[in-house]
Amino acid sequence: MKQIKLLIAILCIHFCLSGIAQDNTAINYGNNDKAGNYIHLNGIDMYYEIYGTGKPLIFLHGNGGSIRSSRAKIDYFKQFFTVIAIDSRGHGKSIDSITKELTYVQMANDIKVLLDSLHIDSAFVSGQSDGGILGLLLAINYPNKIAKLATFGANMFPGKKAIFDEIDHLVLDTLKTTKNFTTKRLYSLLAYQPNITVQDLQKIKCPVLIMSGDRDVIRLEHSIQIFNNIVNSNFFVMPGATHFGSYEKPVLFDLVLLDFLNQPFSKVSTVDLFTGKQ
């Protein structure tokens, strides 16, 4: 019972934080008939919304989230880009009541097929948590589709080497006790996936910004491992932030992401500066 109560508390925190600084938006993101569309792909009707003009920027939400989770980000970044916000398979309005087991690989392929259908050759991608995992898989499996990738709180694999013990125990205990179809599917993702290797990360060639809260659920050393194994990567740790730092400090997040997307990628080191290599 304690585990279930804690789970409910965590979910409440997630949805409350996803609303920070977002309730003032006039547009009903995530349920906007003027911007929303469905496309039938891979056996489901995937829901997405499009805003703004310019280079395409894809926002991918976290586990249990939806387009609404990104509504403040959409409201800001649509000034500069064509923002495409997606409800992942089994989330939001992309209903999938048939698939017994969700996989990140399938969900990433859904996004790739959507981009093909929209005739988008290459896009910027920003992913929160599970959305960051999907971004990594897109960059690994469909490298030509991703121009730049930003992740916040993504992980390569499940378990205690990536995630703090308390959360790992919570996820596993919940799976043992829940009979709810949706909860079981979503928490099975957290418990048993993804399965990204160092060799997979080393295939990524596009510029990547790895972001983390300094008090994230993902261990800092794990985020550093991801950073160290992507050749063209930058690393940003948000101070005083949890796994939900992009919601807790939206102004800081927006500034960092916009700079990464707009500026030429650089990985010049202090050693390079002092040795005259740059």
Nearest to 213 by CA among 234, 242, 179: 242
Confidence check: pLDDT of 2 > 70: no
100-113: average pLDDT: 98
**How many C-beta atoms surround the C-beta of residue 100 within 10 A?**
8
Mean pLDDT, the chain, integer: 93
CA–CA separation, 109 and 47 (whole Å): 15
Higher pLDDT, 13 or 259: 259
How large a percentage of the chain has pLDDT more than 90? 89
Please report the pLDDT score of residue 51 as a whole number: 99
Scan for tokens 């996936």, then name that residue.
193
Higher pLDDT, 16 or 157: 157
Per-residue pLDDT reduced to its tens digit, 143-202: 999 999 999 999 999 999 999 999 999 999 999 999 999 999 999 999 999 999 999 999
Confidence check: pLDDT of 20 > 50: no
Calculate the CA dihedral of residues 183, 189, 190, 192 and round it to 10 degrees: 120
CA–CA separation, 216 and 6 (whole Å): 17
Walk me through the domains of the chain, giving residue ranges and CATH numbers. 2-148+166-206 (3.40.50.1820)
Per-residue pLDDT reduced to its tens digit, 195-240: 999 999 999 999 999 999 999 999 999 999 999 999 999 999 999 9
57-75: average pLDDT: 98
Q: Are 84 and 57 in contact (CB under 8 A)?
A: yes
Nearest to 74 by CA among 100, 45, 112, 35: 35
Longest pairwise C-alpha distance within the chain:
62
Which amino acid does the sequence have at 161?
K
Confidence check: pLDDT of 39 > 80: yes
